[in-house]
Each structure stands twice: as structure tokens, then as C-alpha cells.
């Protein structure tokens, strides 16, 4: 009912619509309309009431509910189904359950905060309420399981393009799954797969974007490592606008992969990388070496030139960082 009332208020385009007209179109009592209007106000919607004119929607809260997101989408696949849970442990954990239960490809799960958000290698992810985009996407690709790790590179390309479009911030990709600006992390990406030997059942891609986190809100251990779009632009950024552009760019990238393979995406990744050409330390479970990151191969592995020769680094096996960083 609230969704339908919001749709009518938005259709009025800043004008008034009477309670009588709403009750007539939705076939409910005016008292029911009034109760739903009050509930919307409690949720943060700024709705002006006039005894003769009715109701007027002045401002919507910065929340990522289906009612707020769906009207802005410019995608055909991503967002076909939108699941919204205001507070959750991890969007990827819940989305994997949805995928295993057979949800449609393109389903997205959105939350306002994560209590157990995580990145690659089980690292934690700071996800405060209403301050970022904490999102997971379900894909059911037809390519082979060994190509699934490249979905992380595909997503990174899409998110960088979206952030540049919306904010103008010239951020770049740190191999394999982080997006940085001036050396500080803006975005983390976590790709998880369920597959058989020769076929992917589903891929869940988790995306965490630091949008409107103020510098004083960052935990002390993250202050030197992370940043947000608000910190870098000096003003709040519309999460809804950014989300819809991210989904659009990701859908375009996925369509490109499905028609032309990953090679065009890998070339775009090279152009947006902040890792290639840099000295890096590669830290594995049983070894560590330093060198210059020179390229990625067709599998998305990082190629590092060292004094002993070229090393091939596979995502998930190691961490990398700028040479000399502790």
C-alpha cells in the first residue's frame, strides 16, 4: 500500500493530490491513507499536508528501499528482484542463501548496515548505517567456472566508471578487488561462486562503497587506510543515484562479457589500474617477494617482474601492497 501511495505522490510531481483521490484510486478508506502517510513520515519522507489540497511529497529520505531504487533503474537484468533488509550481518551471506534457493538472475540485496561485512581473505568491512552502498548481486553466467574470478575485475571496472561519472573522482583499481583514491580505499569487492566441475550454478558479487562516511566516523585503525566519496568531494553524494549508475555499468560490462568474452574488460581494467607499473610486495602464506607489477594475463592473474624472473600471482592466494609499506 505504501508503495502505491508513494507512486501517486511522485506522479503528482511536486503538486498536491487529495486524500480522497488516493483513497478512490487505491480503493481504501481515507483513514487508511492517513495512517500510511503518517508511517511514511516516520520513515523520513517529507510529506506536506494541506486540509483542502491534500498531500505533497517534498523530499524522500536517503534510503535504498525498493520503492526508492526501482523508479530510478535503467537496467533490464540487474534489479529484476530487489531484496531490502535494513540491517544484516553480511549481504553476501544472505544473498548466497537466496541464490541457492533459486532466485532469478539479477536479484540484488541491499542493506543500510552490515554487522559482519567482510572482504577478501575474511577481512572485516566497516559498514555503518546509511553511509554507504552495501550491495550483493546474483549472476548465473554460462561461462566456465575458471573464469568466475574475473567477475571481480569486471565489477571493479564498472564501479570505477560509475564513481567517475557521478562524482568526477579519478579513482582507480588496486589488484585484485579494491578501488582506491590517492592510496586510500573507497570500495571493496568480494566474489563468491557455487559451481560444479564444468558449470557455474551462481556467482554472488558483494560491493561495499564508502559514500557518505565523515572522516571523524572512520575507526582509528582505518583512518589512514580508507576514505569516502563525501570526504573526497566535500559534500554528500546521492546513494540512490550512484547505485543506479553502478548497476547500469555492471550490466553493460556483463553483457559485453557474454558477447565478446573478458578480453575487452581486461583491457579496460588495465587502463583503470593503479597497480600496474608500481613496485609491490607480494605476501603469500609461505612466500614473499617484491617486484614490479607489469600486467595481468587472460586469466586475470597479476604478472610481477622480480630479479629472479617473472612471477604469476593468482587472486585469493596472496595480498599485495606498495613496496616498502608495513
Return d(Cα 162, Cα 80) in angstroms, integer. 20
Residue 228: φ, ψ to 5°: -140, 165
Strand order in the sheet with 309-313: 309-313, 302-306, 288-296, 279-283, 319-322
Per-residue CA distances from 26 to 11, 48, 55, 148 (Å): 14, 20, 15, 46
Integer Rg of the chain from CA: 22
Strand order in the sheet with 82-88: 82-88, 108-114, 132-139, 200-210, 184-195, 178-181, 172-174
Report whether the peptide linkage leading into residue 165 is cis, meaning its omega lies within 30 degrees of zero: no
Cα of first residue to Cα of last residue in the chain, in angstroms, is 55
Burial class (CB in 10 A: 0-12, 13-18, 19+), 121: exposed
Write the DSSP assignment of 159-183 as a string of letters: HHHHHHHHH----EEETTTEEEETT
The three cell numbers locating residue 133: 552502498
Binding residues for biotin: 90-92, 114, 118-120, 185
Return d(Cα 217, Cα 115) in angstroms, integer. 16
Binding residues: 90-92, 114, 118-120, 185
Amino acid at each position: 500500500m505504501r508503495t502505491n501511495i508513494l507512486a501517486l505522490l511522485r506522479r503528482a510531481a511536486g503538486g498536491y493530490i487529495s486524500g480522497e483521490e488516493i483513497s478512490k484510486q487505491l480503493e481504501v478508506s481515507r483513514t487508511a491513507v492517513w495512517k500510511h502517510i503518517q508511517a511514511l513520515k516516520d520513515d523520513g519522507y517529507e510529506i506536506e499536508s494541506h486540509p483542502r489540497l491534500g498531500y505533497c511529497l517534498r523530499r524522500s529520505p536517503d534510503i535504498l528501499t525498493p520503492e526508492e531504487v526501482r523508479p530510478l533503474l535503467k537496467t533490464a537484468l540487474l534489479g529484476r528482484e530487489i531484496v531490502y533488509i535494513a540491517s544484516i550481518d553480511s549481504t553476501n551471506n544472505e544473498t548466497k542463501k537466496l541464490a541457492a534457493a533459486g532466485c532469478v538472475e539479477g536479484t540484488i540485496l541491499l542493506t543500510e548496515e552490515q554487522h559482519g561485512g567482510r572482504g577478501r581473505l575474511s577481512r572485516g568491512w566497516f559498514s555503518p548505517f546509511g553511509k554507504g552502498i552495501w550491495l550483493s548481486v546474483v549472476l548465473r553466467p554460462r561461462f566456465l567456472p575458471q573464469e568466475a574470478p574475473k567477475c571481480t575485475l569486471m565489477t571493479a571496472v564498472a564501479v570505477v566508471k560509475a564513481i567517475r561519472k557521478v562524482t568526477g573522482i579519478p579513482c582507480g583499481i588496486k589488484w585484485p578487488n579494491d578501488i582506491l583514491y590517492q592510496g586510500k580505499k573507497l570500495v571493496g569487492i568480494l566474489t563468491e561462486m557455487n559451481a560444479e566441475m564444468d558449470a557455474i550454478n551462481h556467482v554472488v558479487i558483494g560491493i561495499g562503497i564508502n559514500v557518505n562516511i565523515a572522516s571523524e566516523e572512520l575507526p582509528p585503525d582505518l583512518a589512514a587506510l580508507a576514505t569516502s566519496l563525501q570526504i573526497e568531494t566535500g559534500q554528500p553524494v546521492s546513494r540512490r543515484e550512484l547505485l543506479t549508475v553502478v548497476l547500469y555499468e555492471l550490466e553493460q560490462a556483463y553483457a559485453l562479457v557474454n558477447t565478446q568474452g573478458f578480453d575487452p574488460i581486461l583491457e579496460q581494467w588495465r587502463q583503470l589500474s593503479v597497480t600496474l607499473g608500481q613496485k609491490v610486495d607480494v605476501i603469500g602464506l609461505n612466500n614473499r617477494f617484491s617486484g614490479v607489477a607489469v600486467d595481468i594475463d587472460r586469466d586475470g592473474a597479476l604478472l610481477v617482474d622480480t630479479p629472479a624472473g617473472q612471477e604469476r600471482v593468482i587472486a585469493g592466494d596472496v595480498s599485495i601492497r606498495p613496496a616498502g609499506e608495513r
